[in-house]
Amino acid sequence: MSAAILDKHQRPLRDLRISVTDRCNFRCVYCMPKEVFGAKFHFLPKKELLTFDELHRAAQIFGRLGVSKVRITGGEPLMRQDLDVLISQLSEVEAVQDIAMTTNGYLLTREKAQALKDAGLKRVTISLDALSDSIFQAINDVSVPVSRILSAIDAATAVGLKPIKVNMVVKRDVNDGQIIPMARHFRHSGVVLRFIEYMDVGNTNGWRLDDVVSAQEILLTLQEEWDLEPMAPSQPGEVARRFRYRDGGGEIGIIASVTQPFCQHCSRIRLSPEGQIYTCLFGSEGFDLRRLLRDETVNDPQIIQALTALWSGRLDQYSLLRSQMTSSSPKVEMSHIGG
Ligand code: SAM
Ligand code: SF4
Ligand code: SF4
């Protein structure tokens, strides 16, 4: 592992999240509401996207800056054609030890899962917000049934993309009644269910603090049914608080991004589909890496120098300071840079 560069709060750069597309086949109400992301919405044309070769080069550069983990996200990453080709290119990067992907699972067939696994993908996180079709369909807003996503989880399990995590964003009066059914379903399955506090990302989801079901409430709900004990973080900077069922039913996670922010340990950098770098999920302006990658007069050491300066000057701690925020600059959309 190369020596990590530290930002202004002494946080090392370790993880790179690559959003490979801004498009998605779902219209989750908390992420890409139809009223905004409708037929008239302008998604990026193909030429604007970083090519696989550019992403490979970017990953090599980030590897030299200390990045050892890469997560592929979106939009919906499986809507990017030939994603397995990108995964195999990224898995050639020596510094990158771990490649994972977050997906809504719609396109994750057994064949696709196998191709991704063969290409070097290690793990997947699959998003599923409810076990009830009517609730899930009210959230995804494109009539996708729960069974389709459960099949994706089975496919990922069958090919060994493990440990599989399932992300459930909890929104008050929408799917909070699904906390127990979801937990019951995934107990004893080896799948780690993670409850995520609904976040104020982007500018389009009409976020209100009242809609957030806090980690504390989620935990109390679960404890009414089961005895849970806290577990130690599996790695420094882990965002989920981990718990296990005392009866051996397995593990769950709670991601308290709103009520218990984890900015102090945030080691993530994000790359948008068109090559803008964001040092925070709540950033409003990116750093134009694509311009550097496409400029033939700029070499890798120069890009490394620019990114070192960018990370070294990083002060971001949006979630920690959320309540004191007065700025109303538009934020980048979650569907643009991934979770
Ligand atoms: N389309 C893929 C998916 O849904 O898994 C990857 C991209 S999606 C933006 C990544 C994760 O962010 C998903 O688990 C999604 O549920 C979560 N997410 C989206 N909007 C959110 C919000 N407002 N608050 C909390 N999590 C959110
Ligand atoms: Fe698409 Fe994922 Fe956003 Fe849902 S959360 S709209 S699946 S990008
Ligand atoms: Fe990291 Fe920004 Fe999230 Fe804080 S708010 S944990 S700095 S991405």
Centre of ligand 3 to C-alpha 63, Å, is: 21
Residue 323: pLDDT above 70? no
Q: Can you give the pLDDT at residue 325?
A: 62
Residue 9 lies in a domain: no
Q: Can you give the pLDDT at residue 42?
A: 96
Which residues have any ligand 3 atom within 6 Å of their CB? Answer: 261-263, 266, 280-282, 316-319
Domain that holds residue 276: 15-337
Residue 191 lies in a domain: yes
Q: Can you give the pLDDT at residue 132?
A: 98
Q: Can you give the pLDDT at residue 282?
A: 86
Residue 123 forms beta bridges with which residues?
100
Q: Percent of the chain scored above 70 by pLDDT?
A: 96
Q: Can you give the pLDDT at residue 279?
A: 96
DSSP label at residue 209:
G
Ligand 1 pocket check for 319: Cβ under 6 Å: no
Q: Can you give the pLDDT at residue 10?
A: 96
For the whole prediction, is pTM greater than 0.85? yes
Centre of ligand 1 to C-alpha 338, Å, is: 7
Lowest average pLDDT, out of 7-11, 102-106, 230-234, 319-323, goes to 319-323
- The angle subtended at Cα 144 by Cα 17 and Cα 256, nearest 5°, is 45
Ligand 2 pocket check for 333: Cβ under 6 Å: no
Q: Can you give the pLDDT at residue 200?
A: 84
- Output phi, psi for 286, to 5 deg: -95, 170
Q: Can you give the pLDDT at residue 236?
A: 74
Number of domains, the chain: 1
Q: Can you give the pLDDT at residue 4?
A: 81
Query: Strand ranges (DSSP E) for the chain?
Result: 15-19, 69-73, 98-103, 123-127, 165-170, 192-197, 228-230, 241-245, 251-255, 268-271, 276-278, 287-288
Q: Can you give the pLDDT at residue 329?
A: 63
pLDDT bucket at 284, cuts 50 / 70 / 90: confident
Ligand 2 pocket check for 26: Cβ under 6 Å: yes
Residue 3 lies in a domain: no
Q: Give the integer Cα–Cα distance in Å for 75 and 317.
A: 24
- Identify the residue whose C-alpha is closest to ligand 1 atom 23: 199
List, edge to edge, every strand of the sheet that includes 276-278: 228-230, 241-245, 251-255, 192-197, 165-170, 123-127, 98-103, 69-73, 15-19, 268-271, 276-278, 287-288
Average pLDDT over residues 269-287: 94
Type of residue at 245: Y
Residue 90 lies in a domain: yes
Q: Give the integer Cα–Cα distance in Å for 223 and 201.
A: 29
pLDDT bucket at 85, cuts 50 / 70 / 90: very high
pLDDT bucket at 318, cuts 50 / 70 / 90: confident
Cβ neighbours, 10 Å, residue 323: 7
Average pLDDT over residues 4-22: 96
Ligand 2 pocket check for 31: Cβ under 6 Å: yes
Q: Percent of the chain scored above 90 by pLDDT?
A: 84
Q: Can you give the pLDDT at residue 169?
A: 98
Centre of ligand 1 to C-alpha 245, Å, is: 26
Higher pLDDT residue, 14 or 235? 14
Residue 315 lies in a domain: yes
Q: Can you give the pLDDT at residue 271?
A: 98
Average pLDDT over residues 226-251: 93
DSSP label at residue 331:
P
For the chain, the average pLDDT equals 94
Residue 210: pLDDT above 70? yes
Q: Give the integer Cα–Cα distance in Å for 334 and 204.
A: 10
Residue 1 lies in a domain: no
Q: Can you give the pLDDT at residue 313?
A: 96
Residue 83 lies in a domain: yes
Q: For the domain that residue 296 is a member of, what is the CATH number?
A: 3.20.20.70
- Based on C-alpha coordinates, what's the Rg of the chain? 19
| Residues near 125 by beta carbon (within 8 Å), at least 6 away in sequence | 100, 101, 102, 103, 164, 165, 166, 167, 194
Average pLDDT over residues 168-192: 98
Average pLDDT over residues 151-174: 97
Centre of ligand 1 to C-alpha 31, Å, is: 7
| Best probe residue, ligand 3, of 315, 316, 327 (max atoms within 8 Å of C-beta) | 316
Residue indicated by tokens 């980690």: 215
Q: Can you give the pLDDT at residue 172?
A: 97
Atom nearest to 265 CA in ligand 3: 6
Residue indicated by tokens 């990302």: 201
Angle between helices 215-223 and 179-186 (to 10 degrees): 60
Residue 5 lies in a domain: no
| Residues near 196 by beta carbon (within 8 Å), at least 6 away in sequence | 167, 168, 169, 170, 255, 257
Q: Give the integer Cα–Cα distance in Å for 127 and 137.
A: 13
Residue 263: pLDDT above 70? yes
pLDDT bucket at 116, cuts 50 / 70 / 90: very high
Q: Give the integer Cα–Cα distance in Å for 286 and 306.
A: 13
Cβ neighbours, 10 Å, residue 282: 20
Atom nearest to 31 CA in ligand 1: 20
Centre of ligand 2 to C-alpha 336, Å, is: 10
271 token code pair:
């790359």
